[in-house]
Chains A and B, each alone.
Chain A
Amino acid sequence: MLRVEAQTRLGALDLDVELTAGRGKCLALAGPSGAGKSSILRVIAGLLRPQAGRVECAGKVWLDTQTGVNVPPEERRCGYVFQDYALFPHLSAWRNVAYPLHHLPRGERRPRALGLLERFGVAELADARPGTLSGGERQRVALARALALEPSALLLDEPLSALDTRTRANAARELGALLRESGVPALLVTHDFTEAALLGDEVGVIDQGRVVQQGTAAELAASPASSFVADFTGAVVLTGHAAPAADGLTRIELDGGGAVTSTDTARGPVAVSVFPWEISLEPAGRADFASSARNHIRAEVLSLTPVGNRVRVGLAAPQPLTAEITAAAQHALELRPGTRVTATWKAAATRLIAI
């Protein structure tokens, strides 16, 4: 169990957070850069002392500004995987992993380090310098090094950001499995909500030094507490002006043109959120809208980005839209940048948040 409370001022940022991560659970903090995510990790590791706060891990108090307790970083046994992995450039991979094994007799360090590298599938790189390793290999060495410490908590700062997009999905899956099996509370920070959803048992969305919402990724996506969270979780957010319509529905005149219908009730300026996977695409110009979906927006395909087994389609419309479809659908519709389509979704899939 890792419990953190911290209040401190960092330049223009006012950090004020309270977090708990359970044993063997991974809490992913997601937020834009500059939200204070890394600072929270630094407070836990003892690299940053907050003006007021308390850090407790596995029953030990690491920091308590009220009683004056402040355990130095080297005595906290807190595995920290830095954003660029921070491998020591002058030491080979195995010596990096052996660095925290200082307490062991010399002869036992190399076998132990090799065992850890083996576990991450990079034993053959034991004698390589970090400068010659790929991003994925560096990540594995950094994880092995952090775990060599037998940490009581694991902190990961943007663990996947240094990887290229091809290896990222794979690395994410492996990292997720590893975090669950390690049995220590983990705290991960990322600017990418999808990554947080993938790796965290729970996700905390952090903005301007505060945790604005915490829950499972599905909870956050289904009922965002604010338009910031809705936007951050990947839902498409449009703005407009809501007014009651027939049958108890709400009609929203979108800023920039067009109108949509929602089953939510609202009046006045609203954020309209719809999940990319609720939006279906049809070839433009099809006149027969004998569809149960009430919302139709004409758009032009801007970009096609594969995400796992799906494709995210960026759409140019009066307000930008994102649809998420299967690769098969992409091929059937012959979508490519420039293709004209109609984006369609149901009134019931249209969430309204007053702004």
Chain B
Amino acid sequence: MRSSRWFGALMIAALALTLVFLALPVLAIFLHTSPGQLISSLGDGSSTDALRLSIECSLAAVAIIIVVGTPAAYLLATRSFRGRSLVVTVIELPLVLPPAVAGIGLLASLGPNGILGDFVKSTGLQLVFATAGVIVALTFVSAPFYLRQAQAAFGALDPSWLDASRTLGASEARTWLQVAIPTARQGLAAGLALALGRALGEFGATLMFAGSFRGVTQTTPLAIYQDFSTDFTGALALSAVLVAVSAAILLGVKLLSGPALFAGASS
């Protein structure tokens, strides 16, 4: 009895310490900024440019990830083939890659002197020092977050649902759209939230691959970094806004992934 009370207290203390440590920096951002400062910093053109660019590029990256990543994750989760675990490992590699290494890698592959540099040039697409480059960098670093979650979500589906759909006259494609995706939606939404959060916060790879030009490639984290040595209050205000936007997006995705979202999927 006494030892279990002692153990319980230890666990509560550990949780309290974790909570304080993780919440304190976020709280501090808001404690340091008054609402007035927040509004005035938003009036600053460079801040709004950075925020708009962050949101636009993150949404574009996540859209690409969903369109290409969802079928890829489904294939990985439901088929077994030679070299499958190697493919999974390669896909997860960007998770552990330092952002600076990711940036160098992108330059070496898609940059002007990279392996595919001539091909990129021939398509007329400008990546380096361009907004498209930001989207490429965000896609690269945040895709594995979605792919991992989506793969787990599809892998957890009851295979008899998919079999039942086929015997009920649905093709593989209809089965995928009307059974697999709706039943895996919570896992997919969780992956989407993680990828979006990662994209909004991306810093290193963007800086190295796309640069930091106001209105073109300077996303919010880059703007915060540029501001903080000269205008700490401005950097704080921008940080507060980024936290709020990220939290709102996360919350929105969680709410949307509830049962209501796909209730009418097959009507």
Contact = CB atoms under 8 A, between A and B. Distances in A.
Interface of A: 42, 45-47, 72-80, 82-84, 86, 88-91, 95, 98-100, 102-103, 106, 109, 145-146, 149
The CB with the most chain B CB atoms within 10 A, among A75, A78, A88, is that of: A88
A26 to B, nearest CB: 18
B160 to A, nearest CB: 4
A99 B168 contact: yes
22 contacts: A42-B163, A45-B163, A47-B163, A73-B167, A74-B168, A74-B169, A77-B169, A78-B167, A80-B167, A86-B163, A88-B179, A88-B182, A89-B183, A90-B183, A90-B185, A90-B262, A95-B266, A95-B267, A100-B168, A100-B170, A109-B267, A149-B167
B265 A90 contact: yes
A84 B265 contact: no
A102 B163 contact: no
Given A99-B178, A102-B170, 15 more contacts: A42-B163, A46-B167, A47-B166, A72-B166, A80-B163, A80-B167, A88-B161, A89-B183, A90-B259, A90-B263, A91-B265, A91-B266, A99-B165, A99-B168, A99-B266
B170 A74 contact: yes
B171 interface: yes
B148 to A, nearest CB: 23
B170 A82 contact: no
A198 B182 CA distance: 39
Contact of B168 (A83, A84, A109, A145): A145
Interface in B4-44: none
B231 interface: no
- Chain B facing A: main interface SS: helix
Nearest to B170: A74
B251 interface: no
B158 A100 contact: no
Interface residues of B, number: 24
B164 interface: yes
Contact of B170 (A78, A98, A99): A99
Nearest to A91: B266
A73 B160 contact: no
Nearest to A42: B163
Nearest to A155: B167
B167 A45 contact: yes
Nearest to B158: A86
Given A86-B160, A86-B163, A106 B168 contact: no
A227 B69 CA distance: 56
A73 B166 contact: yes
